[in-house]
Amino acid sequence: MDLNQKGSSFLSEVVQASGETLQACYQCQKCSAGCPVAFAMDILPNQVLRHIQYGHREKVLSSKTIWICASCYSCSVRCPNNIDIAKIMDTLRTLALHSEFKPGEKDIPIFHSAFLDTIKSKGRIHELSLILQFKSKTRDFFKDAALGLKMYRKGKIKLLPSKFSGGKEIKEIFNAFEKGART
Amino acid sequence: MKEISYYPGCSLHGTAREYDDSIRGVLSLLDIQARELEDWTCCGASSAHCTDEDLAVDLAARNLAIAEKSNRELLVPCVACYSRFKVAENEVKEHSKKSRFSYHGNVPIRYSLDFFCDEPILDEVKKKRVKPLTGLKVVCYYGCLTVRPPKLTGIREYENPQHMDRLMEALGAEPVQWSYKTDCCGASLVMTRTDIVRKLGERLLSMAKEAEADCLVTGCPMCQANLDMRQEEFEKETGEKYDLPILYFTELMGLALGHKDVKKWLGRHLTDPVKVLSSKGLI
């Protein structure tokens, strides 16, 4: 296997951050065969593992695949080598956020950041605040507007967020996250 | 009266209100007192673990530390919260991860479906059942995180789980077999890649219809919201009429146990469940 200096450093970075021995992958492709969202991926889960072994950092970190993975764990439970592939996808998303590469999917990382912003400011996910926050970032105000109205009529939309008094602790969690963010 | 701690999670204060109401209703019929965790905050699902592992563990551990102050077990109805809590528990216990909160992995974390499927509760349900759900054909939809990963959930039959089926039988309903019990509905992508979610949702609904189910039963607020609220959109896309109610297992428990508020819970669904239940003489 062509493990040049750069290649092996990406492999060891992922192995270290995930704690998973992805070198054990022998390309049986069971992960990709059972993946419910493989049809929407640009590289299949087994190919992601191969690219990591080869040190193809940009190919992996700028892929759509790492964002499209729905974290359903089908791959992880079926891997004959016990590689927790879903966990590796989490690691890759974290590495991608701190990389120089543009994410392969536009809206999904924006959604995650809107989600975390909502927790940071409100302690809980107030769904309406999250949706408005996400829409203000993507500028797509009309998608699902009719559905939103129906939900409102069914009493499924809570207009105001709940009060909570754990704000100091939540602030501390996010301070640590923002300071400790890997570079 | 038995007491448990209760972490409703964010969805149950919003889109999944009927799940919250029906759990509380069923618990009270079973003489179990639910004590909501004081000052709980979001568990971080489904975005913290996609962003930073320490952040994900801390957001979960804050709640688990509150729960650990009492020696009660912690009931968690949202499977995404449950999964994040189990991951944090595993990190703290097995990998000696330090969180910033005083949490040591000593609180039993129980997912609602597992909790209600315990043998003593099933026996109690059979005893207290006033209206058997005779003639109601259901498909049990477990989804992903209810069973996976089994090293965290402890579910042994993770490819073909049976516990919800057993609960449905205890209620007098007829669980029909289908092959999609644990297939993902894609709900985590519902706001961002609706096109993917539509494909997964359509397949689940059409397979449930093929199995001749009257309704689909779940314990996941994301699956429920996705399949119930987007159903009309899926129908427009495929031209098929599914008209398949998506029920929480606790709503059917409430119905069989004769809870007075069942109609109120069912009234919050976008795909009407009352029609099929009344055609079976159950409501």
Chain B residues with beta carbon closer than 8 angstroms to that of A98? none
Are B190 and B200 a contacting pair, CB within 8 Å?
no
Q: CA nearest B27: which of B138, B112, B135? A: B112
Q: State chain A's mean pLDDT as an integer.
A: 91
CB contact (8 A) between residue A36 and residue B183: yes
For residue B50, give the nearest of A84, A93, A134 by CB distance: A93
Do A111 and A172 fall into the same domain?
yes
Best mutation site among B13, B52, B152, B270 for testing chain A: the one with the most A CBs within 10 Å? B52
Q: Is residue A181 over pLDDT 60? A: no
What pLDDT score does A128 carry?
Answer: 87
Are B259 and B25 a contacting pair, CB within 8 Å?
yes
- Tens of pLDDT, residues B214-273: 999 999 999 999 999 999 999 999 999 999 999 999 999 999 999 999 999 999 999 999
For residue A147, give the nearest of B149, B189, B229 by CB distance: B229
What pLDDT score does A150 carry?
Answer: 87
Q: Is residue A20 over pLDDT 60? A: yes
For residue A156, give the nearest of B14, B58, B101 by CB distance: B14
Q: How far apart are CA B171 and CA B146, in angstroms?
A: 20
A172 C-beta neighbours (distance < 10 Å), count = 14
CB contact (8 A) between residue B50 and residue A176: no
Chain A residues with beta carbon closer than 8 angstroms to that of B44? 119
Final residue of a domain: which of A45, A71, A97? A97
Residue of chain B minimizing CA distance to A125: B10
Do A82 and A147 fall into the same domain?
no
- Tens of pLDDT, residues B52-94: 999 999 999 999 999 999 989 999 999 999 999 999 999 999 9
Do A118 and A138 fall into the same domain?
yes
Q: CA nearest B41: which of B56, B62, B19? A: B62
**How many residues appear in chain B?**
283
Q: Which residues pair with B175 in a beta bridge?
A: B138
Are B232 and B202 a contacting pair, CB within 8 Å?
no
- Tens of pLDDT, residues A92-135: 999 999 999 999 999 999 999 999 999 999 999 988 889 888 98
- A95 SS3 class: helix
- Which pair of structure tokens corresponds to residue A128? 């309406």
* Helix (H) / strand (E) containing A113: helix A107-122
What pLDDT score does A4 carry?
Answer: 47
- Assign a CATH topology to domain B132-279: Rossmann fold (3.40.50)
CATH at residue A81: 1.10.1060.10
**What is the per-residue DSSP string for chain B?**
-EEEEE---SGGGTTTHHHHHHHHHHHHHTTEEEEEPTT-----TTTSTTT-HHHHHHHHHHHHHHHHTSSS-EEE--HHHHHHHHHHHHHHHHS----SS---S-S-EEEHHHHHTSHHHHHHHHHH-SS--TT-EEEE---STTT-SHHHH--S--SS--HHHHHHHHTT-EEPP-S-TT----GGGTTT-HHHHHHHHHHHHHHHHHTT-SEEEES-HHHHHHHHHTHHHHHHHH-------EEEHHHHHHHHTT-TTHHHHHTT-SS--HHHHHHTT--
Residue type, B251: E
Do A78 and A128 fall into the same domain?
no
Q: Does some domain include residue A102?
A: no
Q: Is A123 near chain B, with CB under 8 Å?
A: yes
Final residue of a domain: which of A33, A68, A97? A97
Do A26 and A67 fall into the same domain?
yes
Q: How far apart are CA A99 and CA A113, in angstroms?
A: 16
Do A38 and A76 fall into the same domain?
yes
Domain enclosing residue A40, as ranges: 5-97
CB contact (8 A) between residue B51 and residue A97: yes
Do A91 and A12 fall into the same domain?
yes
Q: How far apart are CA A103 and CA A94, in angstroms?
A: 11
- Which pair of structure tokens corresponds to residue B133? 């759900």
Q: CA nearest B223: which of B161, B163, B139, B154? A: B139
Do A93 and A124 fall into the same domain?
no
Q: Is residue A83 over pLDDT 70? A: yes
A164 C-beta neighbours (distance < 10 Å), count = 15
Chain B residues with beta carbon closer than 8 angstroms to that of A19? 95
Chains A–B, number of C-beta pairs less than 8 Å apart:
160
- Assign a CATH topology to domain B2-114: Glutathione S-transferase Yfyf (Class Pi); Chain A, domain 2 (1.20.1050)
Q: Is A6 near chain B, with CB under 8 Å?
A: no
Higher pLDDT, A163 or B173: B173
For residue B42, give the nearest of A91, A94, A123 by CB distance: A123
Number of domains in chain A: 2
Final residue of a domain: which of A74, A97, A120? A97
What pLDDT score does A182 carry?
Answer: 42
Do A89 and A111 fall into the same domain?
no
Q: Is residue B184 over pLDDT 90? A: yes
ipTM, 2 dp: 0.94
What percent of chain A has a predicted confidence (pLDDT) above 90? Answer: 70
Q: Is A119 near chain B, with CB under 8 Å?
A: yes
Q: Is residue B157 over pLDDT 80? A: yes
CB contact (8 A) between residue B193 and residue A72: no
Do A18 and A50 fall into the same domain?
yes
For residue A173, give the nearest of B40, B100, B195 by CB distance: B100
Question: How far A12 CA lies from chain B's nearest CA (Å)?
Answer: 18
What pLDDT score does A167 carry?
Answer: 86
Q: How far apart are CA A93 and CA B6, in angstroms?
A: 32
Domain regions of chain B by residue span: 2-114, 132-279
- Mean pLDDT over B141-153 rounds to 97
Chain A residues with beta carbon closer than 8 angstroms to that of B14? 125-128, 156-158
Higher pLDDT, B207 or A150: B207
Question: How far A86 CA lies from chain B's nearest CA (Å)?
Answer: 10
CB contact (8 A) between residue B270 and residue A165: no
Best mutation site among B15, B41, B46 for testing chain A: the one with the most A CBs within 10 Å? B41
Do A78 and A10 fall into the same domain?
yes
CB contact (8 A) between residue B62 and residue A169: yes
For residue A155, give the nearest of B17, B55, B195 by CB distance: B17
Q: What separation in angstroms does the CA of B272 have from each of B228, B242, B263?
A: 9, 11, 11
CB contact (8 A) between residue B158 and residue A77: yes
- Mean pLDDT over B193-202 rounds to 96
What pLDDT score does B98 carry?
Answer: 87
Do A63 and A144 fall into the same domain?
no
